[in-house]
Amino acid sequence: MQLLSSISALPMVLSIMVGVLLGLGGFTFSYAEGASYLSNDPAACVNCHVMRDQYDGWQKASHHQVATCNDCHIPHEFVPKYLAKMQNGFWHSTYFTLQNFHEPIQITPKNEAILENNCVGCHAKLVNDIAFHPSNDQQQLDCTKCHADVGHGPTGN
């Protein structure tokens, strides 16, 4: 008899747990302005205070008029673009919630590879001979090593 009552309570308990998870997830998504991250608006990056210097630097940079955050930091193909946005969103929200992030913020190796790929993609005619020259023993260029201020510009006043 007790087994039957505990089995019939199981759907109720599962429903409550799912409801709590959906409620917390919905609240967090709304509070963190999650929908803004699906856009192409660079102001979305400033939802997190850690990105203020990068946003301010981008406004002073030479690419300000021609490139947004997504143009440089996210793959351009549909599926990889939204996969990267989901992965970055998950990790950004996790690190921010747990206050477990490096300050100043640093780009991950995976995201640096995306950035370099986008640099070479946009500037293919200009860098083709450098990127694919037989004497280039690097697997990938490091555009930002020499051009660090192009995307984010100087962050000082």
63-104 pLDDT tens trace: 889 999 999 999 999 999 999 988 988 888 788 788 888 887
Match 């694919």 to its residue by tokens: 132
36 is a domain residue:
no
**Which structural domain range is residue 130 located in?**
41-152
Here the tokens at position 39 are 């856009």
Question: Do 22 and 75 lie in a common domain?
Answer: no
> CB count, 10 Å around CB of 58?
22
Q: Considering the domain boundaries, does residue 139 fall inside one?
A: yes
Domain total in the chain:
2
Is residue 140 domain-shared with residue 85, that is, in the same domain? yes
99 domain-assigned: yes
> What pTM value is reported for the model?
0.73
Report if residue 145 sits inside a domain.
yes
C-alpha dihedral sign at 71, 74, 77, 78: negative
Q: Tell me, yes or no, whether 87 and 147 share the same domain.
A: yes
